[in-house]
Structure 1
Amino acid sequence: MDTEVLVVGAGPTGLTLAHELRLAGVSAVLVDKLAQRSTLSKAGGVQSRTQEAFDQRGLLEPLLATGNFPIGTAHFAGITLPLTRERHRHPWRSIPQVAIEGFLEEHLAARGIPVRRDHELIGVAQDGDGVTATFANGGVVRSRYLVAADGGRSTVRSLLGAEFPGRPGTMTTVAADVRLGGEDLAMTHARSADGHWVSVFPLGTDPQGRPLRRLSLGGPGRSLPREAPVTEDEIRDGLRAVFGSRVRLLDLRYARRITNAARQAARYRHGRVFLAGDAAHVHLPIGAQGMNTGIQDALNLGWKLGAAVHGWAPEHLLDTYHAERHPVAAAVLRNVQAQSLLMDQQGTGDPDLVAAKELFAALTHLPAVQYHLDDMLSGMGIRYPMPGAEDHPSVGLPAPDHDLGPLRSHKLLRRGRGVLIDPADRFAKLAALWPGRVDRAGRGAEAEPMLIRPDGYVCWAGNPDDLEPALGHWFGEPQ
């Protein structure tokens, strides 16, 4: 083997996965077909659960130190959810994808995992022992496992012939990085009476300290072929249709057309090959859920691949990647399709849609509705199906951040191992049977005993008799 795991694609998903593999002590090679890293912002919002996971790895503080990334307010179908802004330890924040990619790539390179660029994949073959990947530049990499993180038009997925069912795009909208003048639009979803609409959210600042905005627009007659170039005049016309002369375009950094295609791979695992991020699921980019979902794919898969490489993974462990992550992305596709419908992105002015949007907007004034939508959009409400989930309200959910006296529990996850919170010091002998896989902490703290997986999810709490089976289920046979 040239490496234990080959990761194809150096976007946020692939870079996060490479970091997780390094943390697990597994050799990884990370390749990308681009000769240089993209300078396009692409996605722009980072949800609470993703920030929490970066914080658990010690990555959030240094990432935030690289730029000006303002806190924003979550929305559903353009309806703001103000009650959710301070609900989680890490509120929604605008961090462009390009900033995350640059930070993670430099972080990995400094730790011996550079991105091998200009590697266009042309062949994938697997056998009982590993996977052979062939590249257009003549290179060949042999690995035990391969992860496809190579985007919505995944070459790996195509070479596998993997099923990718769903709906093709039926319309396009414009997405652009811009500087605007006139009326200050920090975060706005606005619509004209005749159906034209504009969405704006902050992207931080350019090198000169001037505020940048991500702008999306659409409406009647604005769904053009995806290949058609986006012009400055088109964006000016879209702004004028909604804001009149109150807002003007100062600078167009880049623009593209995006579709409302909604597809999801039928299976995330194909033998020794796994699909992650946009290679596994694509949808209209609303709320940056695609980037956040892909990063969470990587966090879920990384420690499990590490366990398989090190030989202690239970037989079922790698299959839990599909079982846990496929339903999450399916739910994201459904909520994005619902948002797209309510937003009437084609500007039809259908009175039934207008009535539905008005009723939905009225419902969002209820705190319970805002909190439900926030749990769904932030990732904090994801609950994985796992043994014991039906018996305890915390099992399957992201772990709470316990105060353990000298430190907080999220810092214990920086080693990439499981964590047993044991405040009464009851389980020392039991935990010692899984050395190097599970760390124990919390003696004397006022916290509920719980077992946390390396990806930050609670996999046991409550009945002490269930702890040993949970350790075996997630961390293999005791040593």
Structure 2
Amino acid sequence: MDTDVLIVGAGPTGMTLANELLLAGVSTVLVDRLAQRSDLSRAGGVQSRTLEALDQRGLLEPLLATGDHPVATGHFAGIPLPLQAERHCLPWRSVPQVVIEGFFERHLAAHGLHARRGHELVGLAQDDDGVTAAFADGTALRSRYLVAADGAHSTVRSLLRAEFPGEPGTLTIVAADVRLGGSDPSTAHTWSEDGHWAALFPLGTDPRGRQLRRLVLGGPGRSLPREVPVTEDEIRDGLRTVFGTRVELLELRYARRITNASRQVEQYRHGRVFLAGDAAHVHLPLGAQGMNTGMQDAFNLGWKLGAAAHGWAPGNLLDTYHAERHPAGAAVLRNVRAQSLLMDWAGTRDPEVLAAREIFTAMAQLPQAQGYLGDLMSGMAVRYPMPGTTSHQLVGRPVPDLDLGPDRVHELLRFGRGVLLDPADRFADAAGPWADRVDRAGKGAGVEPMLIRPDGYVCWAGADDPEAALRHWFGEPR
């Protein structure tokens, strides 16, 4: 084998996974077909759950230190969702994808892992022992496992001939990074009477301290083929149609057309090959859910591949990647479809759609509804199935960042190992055989006993013996 894991695609998903594998002590090769990293921002926000996962790896503070990344207000179908500190201890942040990629590239390089750029995958074959990847320059790499993180037009997915069912794109909208002048719009989403609309989100500031925005435009007559270039005149016309003379374009940094295609692969695992991020699911980019869902795919898969590479993974552990992440991806596709309907992307001004939106907007003011929608859009609503464990309310959910006295729970997960919280010091003998992969902590703390997976999800809680859960998730003891 040339490496334990070959990752195809050096975007946020691929780089997140590479970092997880570094923590697991697994040899990794990261390749990308582009000769250099893209300077396009693409996604622009990081959700609460992703921020928690980065915090658990000790990466959140250095990421936020890279520049001005203001707190962002979430939304559902353009309806603002107020921040609820009691539900989301880390509120959304405006961190453009290009910043995240640059941060991870530097972080990985500091630990000796450099993306091999200009490597275009052209062939793929797997057997019982590993995967052979062939590249356009005539070279080949042999790995035990391969992960496709190569985007919506995934070469790996095509070579696998993996089923990618769903709905094709029926219209396009414009997404652009801009600097604007004039009065600042008071709302993120604004509609004109004739169905044209604009959405604005903060992207922080440029090196000269000037405010950057993500602008999205749509409405009647604005759906053009994806290959048609977006011009400054088109952006100016869209702003004028929605805002009149109140807002003007000062600078257009980058623009592209995106579609409302909605697809998801039927299987996330194909033998020794795994699909993650946009290679596994595509949809309208609402709330940066594509990037965040892909990064969560990586957090879920990384420690499991590490366990398999080190030989202690239970027999079905790699299968739980599909079992857990496919439903999570499907839930994102459903909420995006609902949002696209309520937002009237095509600008039809259909009275039935407008009536539904009016009622939904009123309902979204209710605290319980805000909590539900906030959890949905922040990634906090995900609850993984945990067969064979207790039905405790925490099981399957992200662990709260509990204060254990000298430590926080998030700090205990920094090294990518499992953690058993044992406040009454009852389970030393039970946990001892797994000491090479699970840390025991929390003695004397006023918390419930719980077992936390390396990806920060609770897989056991309560008063019964944790041995069955340890064996189920962390394999047989050495």
Alpha-carbon deviations, 1:290-327, whole Å to 9, x = none?
Answer: 00000000000000000000000000000000000000
- Decide whether aligned partners of structure 1 residues 187 and 47 sit closer, same or farther in structure 2, where only a CA change above 3 A counts: farther
The alpha-carbon distance between structure 1 residues 191 and 389, as it changes in their structure 2 partners (threshold 3 A), is farther
Quick one: percent identity of the two aligned structures? 74
Alpha-carbon distance in structure 2 between the residues aligned to 1:163 and 1:41 = 29
In the comparison of the two structures, how many residue pairs are matched?
Answer: 478
**Equivalences for 1:21-420 in 2 at 5 Å?**
21-84=21-84, 87-185=87-185, 188-387=188-387, 391-420=391-420
Whole-angstrom CA distance in 2 between matches of 1:95 and 1:84: 20
1: CA distance between counterparts of 2:206 and 2:121? 34
Corresponding residue for residue 468 of structure 2: 469
Code of the aligned partner of 1:113: L
The amino acid across from 1:166 in the alignment is G
CA distance in 2, matches of 1:439, 1:209: 44
Distance (Å, rounded) in 1 between the aligned partners of 2:389 and 2:92: 27
1:4 match: secondary structure: strand
Cα contact 1:72–1:187 (8 A) shared by 2: no
Aligned to 2:441: 441
Other structure's SS at 1:426 match: coil
TM-superposed CA distance for 1:72, in Å, is 1.3
**Mapped partners of 1:89, 1:324: distance in 2:** 24
Name the SS for the 2:42 alignment partner.
coil
Gaps of 5+ in 1: none
Residue of structure 2 equivalent to 1:427: 427
Report how far residue 389 of structure 1 moved.
6.2
- Counterpart code for 2:285: P
Amino acid across the alignment from 1:286: L
Cα offsets for 1:169-228 (capped at 9, x unmatched) = 000000000000001247611000110000000001111110000000000000001111
**Residues 390 and 461 of structure 2 are in contact (CA less than 8 Å); yes or no, is this contact kept in structure 1?**
no
The answer as to whether partners of 1:7 and 1:146 remain within 8 angstroms in 2 is yes
Q: Distance in 2 between matches of 1:255 and 1:135?
A: 31
- Code of the aligned partner of 1:469: A
* 1:463 Cα deviation from its structure 2 partner: 3.7
Q: Check conservation: 2:83, 2:91, Cα contact below 8 A.
A: no
Contact 2:286 2:336 in 1 (8 A): yes
> 1:429, CA displacement in angstroms?
1.2
Query: How far apart in 2 are the matches of 1:57 and 1:470?
Result: 23
Equivalents in 2 of 1:475, 1:408: separation in Å?
A: 23
2 CA distance for matches of 1:252 and 1:137? Answer: 36
Distance 1:74 1:389, change over 3 A: farther
**Structure 2 CA distance for aligned equivalents of residues 388 and 239 of structure 1:** 55
| Offset from partner CA, 1:134-153 (integer Å, 9 cap, x none) | 10112211000000000000
**What secondary structure is seen at the aligned counterpart in 2 of 1:84?**
coil
* Deviation, structure 1 residue 390: 6.2
Contact 1:74/1:84 (<8 A) preserved: no
| Equivalent-residue separation in structure 2 for 1:40 and 1:382 (angstroms) | 29
Tell me the distance in 1 between the aligned counterparts of 2:403 and 2:449.
Answer: 13
Contact 1:3 1:142 in 2 (8 A): yes
Tell me the secondary structure at the aligned position of residue 137 of structure 1. coil
Partner letter of residue 329 of structure 1?
G
Quote the Cα distance in structure 1 between the aligned partners of 2:421 and 2:86: 27
Per the normalisation by structure 1, the TM-score is: 0.99
Q: Which consecutive residues of structure 2, in runs of 5 or more, have no partner in the other structure?
A: none
Runs of 4 or more, structure 1, over 2 Å off, are: 83-87, 387-390
CA contact (8 A) 1:388 1:459 kept: no
> Aligned partners of 2:469, 2:81: CA distance in 1, in Å?
37
Deviation at 1:403, TM superposition (A): 0.8
1:387/1:470 contact within 8 Å kept: no
TM-score (norm 2): 0.99
Contact 2:148 2:274 in 1 (8 A): yes
Does the 8 A contact of 1:186 with 1:200 survive in 2?
no
Change (3 A) 1:352 1:389: farther
Partner SS, residue 199 of structure 1: strand
Give the Cα–Cα distance (whole angstroms) in 2 for the partners of residues 186 and 50 of structure 1. 28
Any conservation in 2 of the 1:187–1:202 contact (CA below 8 Å)? no
Q: Secondary structure at the match of 1:415?
A: coil
Distance 1:70 1:273, change over 3 A: same
Q: Give a deviation string over 1:105-150, Cα, whole Å, max 9, x none.
A: 1100110110000000000100111000010112211000000000
Contact 1:15 1:104 in 2 (8 A): yes
Alpha-carbon distance in 1 for matches of 2:89, 2:83: 14
Read off the aligned partner of 2:350 and give its amino acid letter. Answer: D
The one-letter amino acid paired with 1:323 is: A
* Structure 2 residue identity aligned to 1:338: A
| Rounded Cα–Cα distance in structure 2 between residues aligned with 1:83 and 1:113 | 37
Amino acid at match of 2:475: G
The answer to whether the Cα contact below 8 Å between 1:3 and 1:144 also exists between their aligned partners in 2 is yes
